[in-house]
Structure 1
Amino acid sequence: MELSRVNQLSYEDFVSTFGNVVEKCPIVAAAVWARRPFGSVDALEDAISDFIDALPESGREGILRCHPDLAGRDLRVGTLTQESLKEQANVGLDALTSEEATSMARLNEDYKAHFGFPFVICARMNDKPNIFRQMRARMANERAAERERGIEEVKKICRLRLRDLVHADARVTL
């Protein structure tokens, strides 16, 4: 989609189109719609990042809680968003061995028990072995540091999802 078209979208169409660039958080798209027109895809991304950064800790944790467990129940029962399904499948999380699946389930549960929100990583910027390594390594983080790390991963996911929807070289004159 051209950026000029993005800037012309009605509120409803904007939220429908961009409502999942931050996983299951259409409120983010709803909040940034009023900041149109965007002069670039980067400006749209910045508006989303600014909104997330302005949230209190509870809101930021809420964004993390909207993310599914990697290779978790949502994948098994077919309730992942299209974006998450594609991202997880591209790194092989939809085809884990029995041993990998057991390990992933344990890591997901341990992580959530420790931090209170799911592990979030930009799968498109990693591979399966690194995702397992990161899940183990990040357990050593303090809760506040891990919340910030998770939010940075959300922003990476958002950036890539935006680029899937809007032409990256698109610019408009404001």
Structure 2
Amino acid sequence: MTEKTLAELNACGKEDFVAALGNIFEYSPWIAEEAAASRPFSGIRQLFAAMCKVVEDAAPGRRLALIKVHPDLADKTKRGDLLTAESNAEQNSVGLDRLSEAEYAAFDRVNTAYKEKFGFPYIVCARRQTRDSILRDFERRLPSDPTTEVANSIAEILRIAALRVDLLVDGDDRLRVHGRLSTHVLDTHSGRPAAGIAVELTELSDLGASRVIARAITNQDGRTDVPLIGGRPVPIGRYELTFSTASYFAAKSVPLSDPPFLDVIPLRFSVSDPEGHLHVPLLVTPWSYATYRGS
């Protein structure tokens, strides 16, 4: 996808407009075709609202067809030609191309049950999820009735489209599709920010391998130079932050036991709001630590 400015999209011909935005909705360029009639757009939000209105006003059969063109999650037979580049990147971002055998079996089971009940593929905005949260969402949605599940699917399609618009269209009024996860460390032994502490963020998994998401070293403010996750949604799921504190205090010539009472400190927490700001700080001495949910 090549980024376009809003001015370019307002000024170009309909054919070029559709060529630029046709894959915002999976294999459904008719949405961009109909939205083009609403130009000029004053901002990205108005552009996206126009595309959403096309979907909302579409006949039930057309909305169902929109759902059915989406690929099954974690279907290894649907790589390559049958996936758009956007879908391939979105599924890979959550690790659906690297499932353990137990995860693949779980996805296959719920995928099959879902399609047998509803007759269309399960759709979720993968960039907002982890593998574990997708499996939990499957189980939550399976008892739904078909009308509710069509509505759930359309809502997820709009979330996917919003992220694609954010990647593709350059403008001032960005869509609210990004979250942030940050941390900082306060050395309460000396009463100052802790610089030089190695921090590692890991996404936890029930059935597969945990994944290291970010590594950083705290700066002079006791913070990381950039958020641990930023510029994208913070996926729903369980995480662990580890802080290498013993080496920090040793470098400060603070007397420590041998081995140190606290060496590497792990903090486990969960994310439930992908577009929110979650701050997970550490207050630490060689013998104690505390944390809290910041924002």
1:68 lines up with 2:71 in the alignment: yes
What residue identity is the alignment partner of 2:26?
A: E
Residue aligning to 2:121: 118
What residue identity is the alignment partner of 2:157?
A: V
What residue identity is the alignment partner of 1:153?
A: E
> Which structure's CA Rg is the greater one?
2
Q: 1:38-53 counterparts in 2 under 5 A? A: 38-53=41-56
**What 5-or-longer segments of structure 2 have no aligned partner?**
175-295
Distance in 2 between residues matched to 1:168 and 1:94, nearest whole Å: 33
Aligned identity (percent) is: 35
Distance in 1 between residues matched to 2:51 and 2:81, nearest whole Å: 28
1:103 lines up with 2:106 in the alignment: yes
**What 5-or-longer segments of structure 1 have no aligned partner?**
none
The structure with more helix, counted as a fraction of residues: 1
Residue aligning to 2:95: 92
Tell me, yes or no, if the aligned pair for 1:14 and 1:29 is still in contact at 8 Å: yes
| Alpha-carbon distance, 1:116 to partner | 1.4
1:164 lines up with 2:194 in the alignment: no
What residue identity is the alignment partner of 2:33?
A: A
Q: How many residues align?
A: 170
| Alpha-carbon distance, 1:56 to partner | 2.0
Tell me, yes or no, if the aligned pair for 1:2 and 1:170 is still in contact at 8 Å: no
Residue aligning to 1:19: 22
| Alpha-carbon distance, 1:91 to partner | 0.4
Residue aligning to 1:148: 151
Which deviates further from its counterpart, 85-94 or 10-19? 10-19
Tell me, yes or no, if the aligned pair for 1:3 and 1:170 is still in contact at 8 Å: no
Runs of 4+ in 1 over 3 A off after TM superposition: none
What residue identity is the alignment partner of 1:24?
A: Y
| Alpha-carbon distance, 1:106 to partner | 2.1
| Alpha-carbon distance, 1:168 to partner | 4.3
What residue identity is the alignment partner of 2:48?
A: E
Tell me, yes or no, if the aligned pair for 2:107 and 2:135 is still in contact at 8 Å: yes
| Alpha-carbon distance, 1:55 to partner | 1.3
Which deviates further from its counterpart, 117-126 or 104-113? 104-113
SS at match of 1:39: coil
What residue identity is the alignment partner of 2:159?
A: K
Post-superposition Cα deviations, 1:6-36, rounded to whole Å, max 9, x if no partner, equal 1112222111111111111111111111111
**TM-score in terms of structure 1 length:** 0.92
The structure with more strand, counted as a fraction of residues: 2
Which deviates further from its counterpart, 162-171 or 95-104? 162-171
What residue identity is the alignment partner of 1:34?
A: A
Distance in 1 between residues matched to 2:117 and 2:166, nearest whole Å: 33
Structure 2 residue aligned with 1:131, among 118, 131, 134?
Answer: 134
Distance in 2 between residues matched to 1:157 and 1:32, nearest whole Å: 17
Greater relative contact order structure (CA < 8 Å, 6+ sep):
1
Tell me, yes or no, if the aligned pair for 2:45 and 2:173 is still in contact at 8 Å: no
What residue identity is the alignment partner of 2:148?
A: A
SS at match of 1:34: helix
